């Protein structure tokens, strides 16, 4: 049986105790766990609104409403998974490069034990630090990137390490398996056509929001799976991928995006990929009217954790099948 699971909110009121993600135990351990939820509260590489440093705790505060059984995927997560709230990684406000070093240092013990990190930002610049850590473990890694912006600009204000530049830097540093990486959801006003084409020139497949509406959800998911194939993949999810009617609490909102239901379906549709890590970024509490962004962000992370449980269930079923096959051979 899994060692770590949430408190039972039918036995203990949700407003009792520390506010951890989903009421998981806050334990900094790499033993007996399949996933760890952790925060990276860094926001001083944002170009517009700031306050994303408060995102991890904002998401935790609302996540206490989550329950262990996911009816849409028909699985009780903690029948198959053990997980903890790992706390936050130390960051250095105003210094992205030293923060990246801290992220690598913080994620490495988890990755060495094959624990799947589920990371809450923070602005999107933190993903470069995440990818550096994953590169140490996996080498070049595939990327599925949900966002309204490509974040492949050369610089902002002459600065190369901003929340609008991480995926250009990741490509330049050789962190990504570009032939198996894809960006989904790009939309809104740009500085020029190069803002989309630059990502394609770097090697990303790009599906804009306009194209999503033309080809439909099923075709988008088929293209994601066809692109990634069986490669280890990191999933990065900017909450501004979602229309601001459903996620107003973010730094650079863009209208014309998915609904909250569609936002969850895009994560559910990743089932079957070899997902080895996740992040969700750019939640900004100060602009989150009635906490609806926190509701959605916690639900997206819940679906990410569900993918871990589904993967674990398949592995357990395969081991059981092989064991039965072996026993049958012995009896012959």
* Residue 74 CB-density burial (10 A; 0-12 exposed, 13-18 middle, 19+ buried): exposed
- Domain tally, the chain: 1
In angstroms, rounded to a whole number, what is the distance separating the alpha carbons of residues 114 and 247? 32
What was the pLDDT predicted at 19? Answer: 92
Token digits of residue 313:
């269930």
In a domain, 7, yes or no: no
151 is in an annotated binding site: yes
pLDDT tens by residue, 113-163: 999 999 999 999 999 999 999 999 999 999 999 999 999 988 888 899 999
- Taking CA atoms, 324 is separated from 59, 86, 320, 329, in Å, by 43, 37, 6, 9
What was the pLDDT predicted at 194? Answer: 86
In angstroms, rounded to a whole number, what is the distance separating the alpha carbons of residues 99 and 84? 23
124 is in an annotated binding site: yes
Q: Give the dihedral of Cα atoms 73, 74, 78, 79; nearest 10 deg.
A: -140
In a domain, 143, yes or no: yes
Instruction: Evaluate whether 120 touches 301 at the Cβ level (below 8 Å).
Output: yes
In angstroms, rounded to a whole number, what is the distance separating the alpha carbons of residues 160 and 166? 8
In a domain, 4, yes or no: no
Q: Which domain holds residue 244?
A: 21-331
Say which CATH number the domain at 307 has: 3.40.800.10
Q: Which residues contact 140 (CB under 8 A, 6 or more apart)?
A: 174, 175, 176, 177
Length of the chain as a residue count: 332
In a domain, 6, yes or no: no
Q: DSSP character for 205?
A: E
Token digits of residue 143:
């990327």
pLDDT tens by residue, 274-285: 999 999 999 999
pTM beyond cutoff 0.85: yes
240 is in an annotated binding site: yes
Instruction: Evaluate whether 77 touches 309 at the Cβ level (below 8 Å).
Output: yes
In a domain, 308, yes or no: yes
Please give the distance of CA 122 from its chain centroid, rounded to a whole number.
12
43 is in an annotated binding site: no
In angstroms, rounded to a whole number, what is the distance separating the alpha carbons of residues 42 and 281? 10
Listed in sequence order, the DSSP H helices in 229-291 are 260-268
Instruction: Evaluate whether 120 touches 277 at the Cβ level (below 8 Å).
Output: no
- Residue carrying structure tokens 């730094």: 251
What was the pLDDT predicted at 324? Answer: 82
What was the pLDDT predicted at 16? Answer: 87
Task: Compute and round to an integer the Cα radius of gyration of the chain.
Answer: 19
Cβ neighbours around 90 below 10 Å, total = 14
For 66, the 3-state DSSP assignment is coil
Cβ neighbours around 93 below 10 Å, total = 11
What was the pLDDT predicted at 323? Answer: 83
In a domain, 317, yes or no: yes
In angstroms, rounded to a whole number, what is the distance separating the alpha carbons of residues 185 and 207? 6
Q: Which residues of the chain have pLDDT under 50?
A: none
């Amino acid at each position: 049986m899994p060692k770590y699971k949430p408190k039972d909110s039918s036995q203990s009121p949700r407003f009792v105790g520390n506010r951890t993600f989903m009421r998981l135990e806050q334990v900094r351990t790499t033993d007996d766990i399949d996933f760890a939820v952790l925060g990276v509260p860094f926001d001083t590489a944002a170009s517009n609104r700031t306050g994303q440093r408060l995102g991890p705790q904002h998401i935790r505060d609302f996540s206490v409403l989550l329950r262990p059984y996911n009816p849409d995927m028909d699985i009780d997560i903690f029948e198959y998974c053990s997980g903890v709230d790992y706390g936050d990684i130390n960051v250095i406000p105003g210094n992205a490069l030293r923060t990246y070093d801290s992220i690598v240092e913080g994620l490495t013990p988890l990755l060495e034990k094959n624990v799947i990190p589920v990371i809450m930002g923070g602005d999107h610049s933190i993903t470069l630090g995440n990818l550096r850590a994953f590169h140490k473990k996996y080498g070049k890694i595939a990327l599925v990137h949900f966002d309204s912006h490509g974040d492949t600009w050369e610089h902002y204000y002459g600065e190369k390490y901003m929340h609008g530049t991480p995926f250009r830097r990741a490509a330049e540093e050789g962190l990504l398996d570009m032939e198996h990486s894809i960006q989904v959801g790009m939309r809104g006003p740009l500085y020029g056509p190069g803002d989309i084409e630059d990502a394609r020139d770097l090697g990303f497949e790009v599906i804009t929001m306009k194209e999503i509406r033309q080809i439909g959800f099923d075709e988008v998911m088929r293209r994601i799976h066809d692109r990634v194939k069986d490669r280890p993949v990191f999933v990065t999810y900017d909450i501004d991928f979602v229309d601001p009617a459903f996620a107003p609490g973010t730094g650079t909102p863009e209208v014309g995006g998915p609904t909250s239901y569609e936002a969850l379906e895009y994560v559910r549709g990743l089932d079957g990929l070899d997902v080895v890590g996740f992040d969700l970024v750019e939640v900004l509490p100060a602009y989150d009217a009635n906490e609806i962004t926190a509701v959605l962000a916690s639900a997206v992370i819940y679906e990410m954790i569900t993918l871990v449980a589904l993967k674990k269930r398949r592995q357990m079923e395969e081991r059981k099948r092989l064991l039965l096959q072996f026993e049958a051979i012995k009896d012959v």
